[in-house]
Amino acid sequence: MTAATPAETGEEPRAAGPGAVLPGAQIPEGRGMGRVRLVQIYRIGSAVLGALLLATFVQAGMALYGNEQARDVLIERVDPATLEQFRLSTAVTGQDTAIRAYAEEGGREHVEQYRAAVRQEAASAARMRRLLAGVPGHEEVDRLLARATADSRAWRAGFADRVAAGPGGQGIDRGESRLASRLLVQARGDMTPLQTGITALHDRAAAKLNSRARTAQWSTFAALAMVVAAALLLALLFRRTVLTPVSTLTGRVRAVSEGDFGHRLDVPGPAEINELAAIIDAMRARIIEEWRTSEDKSRRLDEQTEELRRSNGELEQFAYVASHDLQEPLRKVASFCQMLERRYGDQLDERGRQYIAFAVDGAKRMQALINDLLSFSRVGRLSRPEDSVDLDEVVRQALDNLSTLREETGAEVDVAELPDVPGDRTQLVQLFQNLVGNAIKFRREGVPPRVTIDVRRTGDEWEFGCADNGIGIDPRYADRIFLIFQRLHSREEYTGTGIGLALCKKIVEYHGGRIWLAADEHAEPDTVTPGTTFRWTLPAQPSTGAEEGAGEGTGDPDD
Angle at 192 between CA 190 and CA 197, to 5 degrees: 100
Rg (CA), the chain: 62
What pLDDT does 365 receive? 61
What pLDDT does 495 receive? 55
Angle at 344 between CA 343 and CA 347, to 5 degrees: 150
| DSSP state letters, 464-526 | EEEEE-SS---GGGTTGGGSTT--SS-TTTS---S-HHHHHHHHHHHTT--EEE-TTTTPPTT
What pLDDT does 462 receive? 92
What pLDDT does 239 receive? 75
Beta partners for residue 421, in sequence order:
389
| Phi, psi (deg, nearest 5) at residue 296 | -65, -45
Do the bridges between strand 420-424 and strand 515-517 make them parallel or antiparallel, or are there none, so unpaired? unpaired
What is the distance between the alpha carbons of residues 402 and 432, in angstroms, rounded to a whole number?
10
The 10 Å Cβ neighbour count of residue 159 is 23
The 10 Å Cβ neighbour count of residue 4 is 10
Closest CA to 378 of 537, 539, 481, 507: 507
The per-residue pLDDT string of the chain (559 residues; one tens digit each, 9 = 90 and over) reads 444 444 444 444 444 444 444 454 455 555 555 566 766 677 777 888 788 888 888 877 887 887 787 788 888 888 898 888 888 889 888 888 887 787 777 778 888 888 898 898 889 889 888 888 878 878 888 888 888 888 888 888 777 777 777 776 666 666 666 767 777 777 777 778 877 888 887 888 788 788 878 887 787 888 888 788 888 887 877 777 777 777 777 877 777 777 666 666 666 667 677 777 677 777 777 777 887 888 888 888 888 888 887 876 666 666 656 655 666 676 767 777 777 777 776 777 777 777 777 677 666 666 666 665 565 555 555 557 778 889 999 999 999 988 888 888 888 899 999 999 988 888 889 889 888 988 888 788 888 888 999 999 988 899 999 988 887 776 766 666 776 655 555 554 555 555 677 788 888 888 888 888 887 554 444 444 578 888 899 998 765 444 444 444 343 333 3
Q: Please say whether the beta carbons of 457 and 450 come within 8 A.
A: no
What pLDDT does 555 receive? 39
Query: Helix 138-155 vs helix 191-238: angle between axes, to the nearest 10 degrees?
Result: 160
What pLDDT does 200 receive? 82
Q: Please say whether the beta carbons of 107 and 168 come within 8 A.
A: yes
What is the distance between the alpha carbons of residues 131 and 82, in angstroms, rounded to a whole number?
10
